[in-house]
Amino acid sequence: MDKLVITGGRPLSGEVTISGAKNAALPILCACLLTPEPLTLTHVPALNDIGTMLKLLVQMGVKVERDADTVRLDASGLNNSVAPYEMVKTMRASILVLGPLVARCGEASVSLPGGCAIGARPVDQHIKGLQAMGAEVTVEHGYVHAKVGRLKGARLFTDMVTVTGTENLMMAACLADGVTLIENAAREPEVVDLAKCLIAMGAKISGAGTDVIRIEGVTDLHGATHRIMPDRIEAGTYLCAAAATGSTVTLNGISSGYLDAVVDKLMDAGCDIVSEKTAEREFIRITAQAKLKAVSIRTAPYPGFPTDMQAQFMAINCIAEGSAVMRETIFENRFMHAVELQRLGANIKIDGNTAFVTGVKRLEGATVMATDLRASASLVIAGLVAEGETHIERIYHLDRGYEQLEAKLMALGAQVRREKA
């Protein structure tokens, strides 16, 4: 397995261009299943998770053409509505084919994604929503089977805010008979981006970005072209890398609007942040103090502080002045990076869903193991700060979600190399 070797202690400087958002691209790729006409997507990031989703779509009969960051999908020959375990187990977001398949084909069998390192992550809300829309859903031999003539519009209420649950049900409702209301809907910008693409395909959706989404079902959707929004978590990760190393870095292709909660905390930590969005250019520039203040956070659904940025902020708190309390409210097991950060010399105590972090003067390079996508990002940030070499093993997690990570970091002056196993 490949590993990343980082020689820390160097400030970063320069500019980095933010890629398309993984978490917007994944549901939007699945939207192609809703129409026999071609869907063209631009600004699609080259990531392993995107490759996995494309493979899944291809085995369902979707024709895929890829040219640089443009992907053209044609689901006119859709001939298989089964998402097998072998594919789903590598990526939970595969569950996003369920809603569109049931809506277009009247049936689907999707392997249950099961738990993952960060928590149990059930899909009961996706199932409950489809049942309320008239689908007969059974769970047998590890598969969710859903069957229906045509879905019927319904009033849906999810027990908790779920991002992919909202996206799955929104896609399903586009081809349902009548009006669907999704209450307690996720307000994440990626949900809004999916809604924009669906609207371009002829869907009638209002309220995306609020907690009530209204979808008036139509009989058919048509082809469209859509540009994927920038990746706010990738951007947040580079902001944290700059903050931790006391650097000035400019991120191009994104403005701070998507990152309010993150920017707010970085400013509390003592960073200066400017952002601009004009017709010609969009950027965020961060200038960080040599010494940051520790910042307490509590993760929450958007517009709260994103759980996908918790690990990166833990890396910052490890070397900041003072102590921070970090509360994880979305996933039950999302502190696995803490023990790895401790190997670098961090002072962290975990009690249930709360981490108490006290800043130390310096971190020292060591061998650590990446355990999930964002945990890996926190180890990269810590490695950039630590004295000497940090060896990060199992970096396939990073390849799932960060496009050209080493190239981007090296362009900012970091000393990073990948060692092939």
**Which residues of the chain form contacts with ligand UD1 (CB under 6 A)?**
23, 26, 92-93, 119-126, 160, 162-165, 190, 307-308, 330-331
CB of 307 to ligand UD1, least distance (A): 5
Residue 233 to residue 256: CA distance in whole angstroms: 12
Residue 94 to residue 74: CA distance in whole angstroms: 18
CB of 162 to ligand UD1, least distance (A): 3
CB of 388 to ligand UD1, least distance (A): 32
CB of 194 to ligand UD1, least distance (A): 10
Which listed residue (30, 116, 197, 318) is catalytic?
A: 116
C-beta of 234 vs 282, nearer to ligand UD1: 234
CB of 126 to ligand UD1, least distance (A): 5
Residue 271 annotated to the active site: no
C-beta of 92 vs 285, nearer to ligand UD1: 92
C-beta of 120 vs 274, nearer to ligand UD1: 120
C-beta of 72 vs 121, nearer to ligand UD1: 121
C-beta of 359 vs 401, nearer to ligand UD1: 401
- Is residue 140 exposed (0-12), middle (13-18) or buried (19+ Cβ within 10 Å)? exposed
Enumerate the active-site residues.
116
